[in-house]
Amino acid sequence: MDLDRLRHSTAHVMAAAICQLFEDVKLDIGPATDGGFYYDFDMPHRLAPEDFPTIEAEMARIVAEDVPFERFTTTREEARTMLASQGQDYKIQRLADIPEGEEISFYRCGAFTDLCRGPHVERTGELRGFKLTSVAGSYFRGKETNPMLQRIYGIAAESPKAIKVLLKQLEEAQKRDHRKLGKEMDLFSIREDVGPGLVHWHPRGARIRSIIEDFWRRAHYRSGYELLYTPHIGRAQLWQTSGHVDFYKENMYAPMEVDGNDYFVKPMNCPFHIQIYKSQIRSYRDLPLRWAELGTVYRYEKSGVLHGLFRVRGFTQDDAHIFCTPEKIEDEIRETVSFALKMLRAFGFEEISAYLATRPEKAVGEPSRWEQATHSLQRALETEGIAYEVDPGGGAFYGPKIDLKIKDAIGREWQMGTIQFDFNLPERFDLCYTGSDGDAKHRPYMVHRALLGSIERFFGVLVEHYGGKFPFWLAPEQMRILPISDGQLGYAEEVAAQLREQDVRVTVDRRDERIGAKIRLARNDRLPYMMIVGAGEQEAGTVTLRDREGEQEAMSVEAVLLRLQQEEKR
């Protein structure tokens, strides 16, 4: 069953139940989400978790009635009249968002009718598993100056048994929440004084980020990429040529005027990479060009959707663009998919699947190019043995794509890498190369590619995947030396110096605390190792190595280094 359809239909049934139970309910939106669904309401009654059993019981009644979801269309004026008669002011504003000429549809289930694009399941009886999970405030359209609505979140699945699994997953997810662990482990913060969605990396978090980025750079150079650095702002004309001003402006920060010209902070890196391509005449002998950048971009996300590191306004994309001849594109895509899998597996993600979106009805680019591009994506997935789903017609208007999904330690799916063809920007910027026939007007294939997505979101996923217990090679502090008394401080510092010479990330706990308290703090900080040194160890020139599981062993510093070198795989 289509989970998005199931979740969206459950949101409608929840709204129907709330309208039945409470008075003067004004509706906004109720979409499916990655983890379930939500619906926003404006109503006099202040919703609370204590209301959930009553709402769920009414939802169960609607499901038991097994009424159909019936779609019908109206004219814009008829829709406005209907919504006005129901007092649905927010829906009238949403109606105004529907472009002229686009069909206006409603869905009815029983006595409940909602302005909605759909789609839905056939009947309410198909909704066999659901649970309401939380309630929160949400500004209408995500703007702080608009009214505050009440948002109820829930989860939906194919059966009550599947809901039990999801609830257990949610319980574990709360323990692993990267916002909670980020604060406990002093990894990052988001300061209201600076602005929502703008991340501050603290020393421990910044250390992990630098390890990720260093590994990323080495892997790219080994795979034949060259790295770029590009500006953070560009003239408005650049973004007009790219089409961002026409199609993406609501997600861009307002322009700034410099020397009589408007500039935008960049929401994407691709126009800059294109400018480097255009800086000289290219030959088929130069291609493929593989250019990558850890480029920080800025996008205006509505405050209502900001969420820790998962949804921010400033973030660093592990971005790359490949410029290629048609003859080489299939090999390039196959290598790109292989590279993406190696990268994700290096961070501990073994369960990887894909989503292949193909040509929509309205598209730019020659059909033959679409066919070749889609075939190359499909062949690459099949060659690598990756399970994938096809979304016929679900590609962007400018090219087909693959989205790579990983499954984390508690079974949640996350979309990570993307491999996206683009037949639009090469046309807009008139990208060309000289072919073997001497013709200088050949159009290259252009592929957008991200492996991790963004460093911020990927880092948040890593925190939750490992529950803060990073593998040795990623841990910001790999080892802490715990002297039992001040008499061993000098010896502890000598040992630390030996370890640092071998690039071990080590600190010494110099606090005037009992050894039990020092061990507890190191355990709470989720360190891979701690090293205990007392008078006996100092006299023997040894240490007691203790791991996360509490296993400990007396050994020489040389033996410790040998063990750590074997564990350090990167």
Q: Which of 448, 465, 505, 518 is catalytic?
A: 448
**In this structure, what token pair is assigned to residue 430?**
């008139």
Distance, in Å, from the CA atom of 271 to the CA atom of 293, rounded to the nearest integer, reads 13
Distance, in Å, from the CA atom of 406 to the CA atom of 2, rounded to the nearest integer, reads 19
Residue 319 catalytic?
yes
Residues pairing with 139 in the sheet: 148
Distance, in Å, from the CA atom of 555 to the CA atom of 561, rounded to the nearest integer, reads 10
Instruction: Give the residue from 293, 179, 277, 303 showing the smallest Cα distance to 230.
Output: 293
Residue 321 catalytic?
yes
**In this structure, what token pair is assigned to residue 316?**
């660093």
Q: Other C-beta atoms within 10 Å of 350: how many?
A: 9
Q: Which of 141, 299, 313, 405 is catalytic?
A: 299
Contact 332, 322 (CB under 8 A): yes
**In this structure, what token pair is assigned to residue 94?**
């949403």
If residue 532 lies in a helix (H) or strand (E), which one and from where to where? strand 529-533
Contact 449, 420 (CB under 8 A): yes
Contact 480, 493 (CB under 8 A): no
Q: Which of 94, 321, 405, 465 is catalytic?
A: 321
Q: Which of 150, 317, 478, 538 is catalytic?
A: 317
Residue 317 catalytic?
yes
Residue 299 catalytic?
yes
Q: Which of 401, 405, 457, 518 is catalytic?
A: 401
Q: Are strands 401-407 and 388-391 parallel, antiparallel or unpaired?
A: unpaired
Residue 94 catalytic?
no
Distance, in Å, from the CA atom of 369 to the CA atom of 107, rounded to the nearest integer, reads 38
Q: Which of 28, 40, 318, 319 is catalytic?
A: 319
Using the structure block, give the residue that is written with the tokens 């009886």: 125
Q: Give the helix ranges, DSSP H, for 22-140.
A: 52-65, 76-85, 89-97
Q: Which residues contact 75 (CB under 8 A, 6 or more apart)?
A: 104
Distance, in Å, from the CA atom of 135 to the CA atom of 569, rounded to the nearest integer, reads 44
Residue 270 catalytic?
yes
Side chain identity, residue 152: I
Q: Which of 19, 109, 116, 270 is catalytic?
A: 270
If residue 115 lies in a helix (H) or strand (E), which one and from where to where? strand 112-115
Instruction: Give the residue from 471, 349, 329, 320 showing the smallest Cα distance to 416.
Output: 349
Residue 169 catalytic?
no
Instruction: Give the residue from 217, 59, 44 showing the smallest Cα distance to 128.
Output: 59
Residues designated as active site: 270, 299, 317, 319, 321, 401, 448
